[in-house]
Amino acid sequence: MALHRNVKQPSHLEQPARITSVYQKLQESGVLDRCLQLDARIATREELLWLHTADYVDELSATSEKKQSILTALERQYDSVFLCPETYQAALLSAGSSLQVVESILSGESRSGFAVIRPPGHHAESDEAFGFCYFNNTALAAKYAIENHQLERILIVDWDIHHGNGIQKMFEEDPRVLYISLHRLDIFPFNPENCDCNMVGTGPGVGFNVNIAWPSKGMGDSEYLAAFRRIIMPIANQYNPQLVLVAAGFDAALGDPLGGCKVSPEGYGQMCHMLTSLAEGRVAVLLEGGYNLKSVSDSMLMCANALLGDPLPTTLIGALQPGAAVTIQRVANYLLPYWTSLVVDVNSEEKNTKHKR
Ligand SMILES: [Zn+2]
């Protein structure tokens, strides 16, 4: 997965060092020695076709045979995507390794797990590479749990600073996957109509898509933990998932060059810790974005500590940034008709009772 790179621009943010520095950090901290290490594997064509079109899989597979000059021209048909001859193989390994972690958890071999993988996946559409993403790793992991283990309730928490447009699209009609994303509304993929708080799913999936869409930059531990306490955990507890997948981008981290937010490694650890109270601890943390090597490594380590049950440092919580409380209230208002666990104040309780009468 470290061979996939931007040939024209080697310093591109989505660089091989993202995974090698995380791996090194986990190794130096001794965490790796305490974990069962799984072999990476490629995703099979059959698995990819659960969510991607045959034409798209063929198109991407053909890139491994092409010269760099041709690939550089091909890139232009996608938005924010680079290609090299190793891209296809890396994307297969990134997706397949996500499935390995889920298999290890659902077969009872591991209680929880994490995947140090790239390229990321949550922007990938069924028929299109998009935003540094090729195959939708986290979505495929959910599908794997449905197809191979007949799971009926999977929670995906996507805390990458960008909206996971691909995951939303793939499951917006499917109540077997509850997708909860925390992201900024005003940045990539620059499609606020698609990722605002009013997108709650469609058809049988209505109520099972939750967008906690921050209006601007500057959000940190206080805002993220407030969203967890007020929205995510009440809904997740009521949903009672059999498996939790984290689309773990660390680009809302303090120091990230893209996110403009300030979540600390301890903050990520606390969020991960809260999720381990669900699904009997069956939590898989799958790396998505995150472009400050130190922030990504420190945050992933803290999540690994949380999964291992280590005591975590606390975070300092203060007043919410402007716009955060409004966002949380908006999300609650949109989701209130579907989740009674969100009813906490007297006014909505009365409204609900009147509604029932
Ligand atoms: Zn991102």
**pLDDT at residue 125 is higher than 50:** yes
Query: Is 6 among the domain residues?
Result: no
Find the 160 Cα to ligand 1 centroid distance in Å: 5
Mean pLDDT of the chain: 96
Shortest CA distance to 332 belongs to which of 340, 217, 192? 340
Q: Is 123 a catalytic residue?
A: yes
Average pLDDT over residues 169-196: 98
> Reading across the β-sheet that carries 243-248, which strands appear in turn?
113-115, 283-287, 243-248, 154-158, 177-184, 209-214
Where does the pLDDT of residue 252 fall: very low under 50, low under 70, confident under 90, or very high at 90 and above? very high
Q: Which tokens belong to 317?
A: 């919580």
The single residue listed with the structure tokens 């491994």 is 64
- Using the predicted structure, report yes or no on whether residue 356 has a pLDDT greater than 80: no
In a domain, 7, yes or no: no
User: Any idea what DSSP says for residue 252?
Assistant: T
Q: Is the pLDDT of residue 355 over 60?
A: no
- Residue 8 maps to a domain: no
Q: CATH number, domain at 162?
A: 3.40.800.20
Structure tokens at 33: 């020695």
266 within a domain of the structure (yes/no): yes
Q: How far is the CA of 249 from the centre of ligand 1 (A)?
A: 6
Q: Residue 337: give the domain boundaries.
A: 17-356
Looking at the domain assignment, is residue 345 inside a domain?
yes
Q: How does pLDDT run across 329-340, given as a tens digit for each residue? A: 999 999 999 999
Domain presence at residue 11? no
Residue 44 lies inside a defined structural domain of this protein: yes
Choosing from 52, 123, 183, 273, which is the catalytic residue? 123
Span between the terminal Cα atoms of the chain, in Å? 58
Based on the structure, what is the number of domains in the chain? 1
Rounded distance from Cα 108 to ligand 1 centre (Å): 31
pLDDT at residue 4 tops 80 = yes
- Between the CA of 289 and the centroid of ligand 1 the distance, in Å, is 4
Confidence tier at 344 by pLDDT (50, 70, 90): confident
C-beta of residue 294 within 8 angstroms of C-beta of residue 254? no
